[in-house]
Amino acid sequence: MSLHDFDQLFQSKIDQEIKIEPKDWMPDAYRKTNIRQISQHAHSEIVGMLPEGNWISRAPSLKRKAILMAKVQDEAGHGLYLYCAAETLGMSREQMIDDLNSGKAKYSSIFNYPTLTWADMGAIGWLVDGAAILNQVMLCRTSYGPYARAMVRICKEESFHQRQGFESLLVLSKGTAEQKAMCQDAINRWWWPSLMMFGPKDSESTNSDQSMKWKIKRKTNDELRQQFVDMCVEQVKLLGMTLPDPHLKWNAERGHYDFGEIDWNEFWNVVKGNGPCNKQRLAARRKAHEEGKWVREAAAAYAEKRKTASLNPSKGGTLAAA
Amino acid sequence: MDNSLINYTLHLADTTLILSQRNSEWCGHGPILEQDIAITNISLDLLGQSRNFYQYAAQLINFSKHSEAKVSPSGGDLEGASEDSLAYLRTEREFKNLLLVELQNGDWGQTVLRQFFFSQFQYLLFEQLQQSKDEQLAAIAAKAIKETTYHVRWSSEWVIRLGDGTDESHQRMLHAIDELWRYTGELFEAAEYETAMGIDLAAIKQKWTEKVIAVFDEATLPVPENSFMQLGGKKGVHTEQLGYILTELQYMQRTYPNSNW
């Protein structure tokens, strides 16, 4: 079979909705795009632990502390499944983490915004997780099998997080004047960055066309963004709060809400590293990695000793692997 | 009813809460993803335990208020006590946690060694507490000991792995022992409320020491000779670090009093 035949067979599988599996032939660009996207997604989960982790020590009740801690821990779990999914394409987790720490790999820009008040925990759950879910629901049907399967599990937990976030805002919205103000302020700050999570406009997006053809993506950035706006406009009414966009207006002709122009200058600045927390987030990841080096080395050295010892039954150990 | 049961329950609640708070500082910053998840898991278990203890203490306090009994000698307005009022509105001198659990995390070695010292102790304590005549404490202990069993295993494995890992990790564990050992004596020094509750700390001490010797032996780490032991936490006399922990922990409740979250 010629390369052309392989390529045709590959595309015909995609067209017939047959999942691509790790051992199947695939075009190099498909492999690379998936590695890039899945590892970016994994990095986003890991970096995403930081803005919310920022409030674990100060959560306002023991119940909220438990919920928040469990949520951040879920994100670590998601990172883990996603690194494993990306590894099936031939890149090691170590390499991916090195790429994150060197700044070569990207992660979702949303996590470069600071979490200033407790209400940000609710706003992140409602808006950031809400935006992420629309993307992730689509990815449950993505063409690469291991990625699609990881997403099914992640989606279940994410929609739980979103409900928890909304519920936490609902409590604030019914609280004291200070709590209501805190709630509205958080929505104001997280609304536009959440809209930016869907990426550049379709007309500007470089990766979109090929990804649609390969069914890595199934909806365009603009389609998902519109879906998100339509959803939030309804939900914010339940909170008795507003979205900070004077141009939001129902458009009967389109059957959708019109909304104002995103500040693309801000978007590209954050992508390029000039967001309020880009430096701090990366520094925190690097620090954890560097300070953990001696621990990982010790665990490896110990495991090696055990392996040697297990060949000699008189000194056999029972210690489970790290 | 005297205050021993309330004070003892608060001691158990404070100790588990403060250790949970300390361990949770690792969340997002662990040496490797799997262990980030593991330490957060332990932190969540401890938080769950502390909530059970606080809820029980609140119930006891509210009940004794009704019966006009005098409650906490250290004061504080405990009117309508709840898990949150007890955790968020008591002061440094009212907290009864062990000193060991409020110490800074240090490096990963120090954190896992502290967990090992504590979990090994807590396991033996819960074994006894399961038999307690107080049904509620017995029930909490019976539920929690399953979690503690895992904490003991996890932390023992790490002490062994780091003690017998590389030269660097061995040195770091020696340093961790040097930092923490003098806070282990308090585990076995009975406060009045423990004596009143009939907790046999001498029996626990003997078993604890045997376990520590066995794990240290496998970890190629020396067990320190008897040395001076720092006491005070159980009676509300803490290190300088507790004030900072409470400042952070209690920030929201202090800043926005009488709010629902």
- The predicted-structure confidence for A58-99, as pLDDT tens digits, reads as follows 999 999 999 999 999 999 999 999 999 999 999 999 999 999
pLDDT tens across B242-254, in order?
999 999 999 999 9
- Cβ-count burial of A112 within 10 angstroms (0-12 exposed, 13-18 middle, 19+ buried)? buried
What does the pLDDT read at residue B169?
98
Long-range contacts of A172-178 (CB under 8 A, 24+ apart): A172/A119, A172/A122, A172/B261, A173/A239, A173/A240, A173/A241, A174/B260, A175/B259, A175/B260, A176/B256, A176/B258, A176/B259, A178/B256, A178/B259
Question: Which residues of chain B neighbour A307 with C-beta distances below 8 Å?
Answer: none
Q: Does B203 have pLDDT greater than 60? A: yes
Query: pLDDT digits over B207-222, tens only?
Result: 999 999 999 999 999 9
Average pLDDT over residues B166-192: 98
**pLDDT score, position A317:** 44
C-alpha distance from B70 to closest chain A C-alpha (Å) = 27
* Mutation to test the A interface, candidates B18, B21, B37, most A Cβ within 10 Å: B37
Q: Do A294 and B32 touch (CB under 8 A)?
A: no
| pLDDT value of position B113 | 98
Query: Domains of chain B by range and CATH?
Result: 3-255 (1.20.1260.10)
Hey, is the C-beta of B84 within 8 angstroms of any chain A C-beta? Answer: yes
Q: What is the pLDDT of residue B172?
A: 98
Residue B69 has pLDDT above 80, yes or no: no
Confidence of residue B1 (pLDDT cuts 50, 70, 90): low
Residue A115: predicted pLDDT = 98
Residue B111 in contact with partner chain A when CB distance is under 8 A = no
Look at residue B79 in the predicted model and tell me its pLDDT. 60
Would you call A49 an interface residue with chain B, using a CB distance cutoff of 8 Å?
Answer: yes
What residues in chain A have per-residue pLDDT under 50? Answer: 315-322
pTM: 0.94
Q: Can you say how many angstroms the Cα of residue A220 is from the centroid of all Cα atoms in its chain?
A: 17
Contacts of B84 in chain A (CB under 8 A): 61-62
What pLDDT was estimated at residue B62? Answer: 95
Residue B197 forms contact with A (CB below 8 Å): no
- Distance in Å, alpha carbon of A150 to nearest chain B alpha carbon: 17
Kindly state whether B29 is in contact with chain A, defined as any CB-CB distance less than 8 angstroms: yes
Provide CB contacts within 8 A for A3, sequence distance 6+. Answer: none
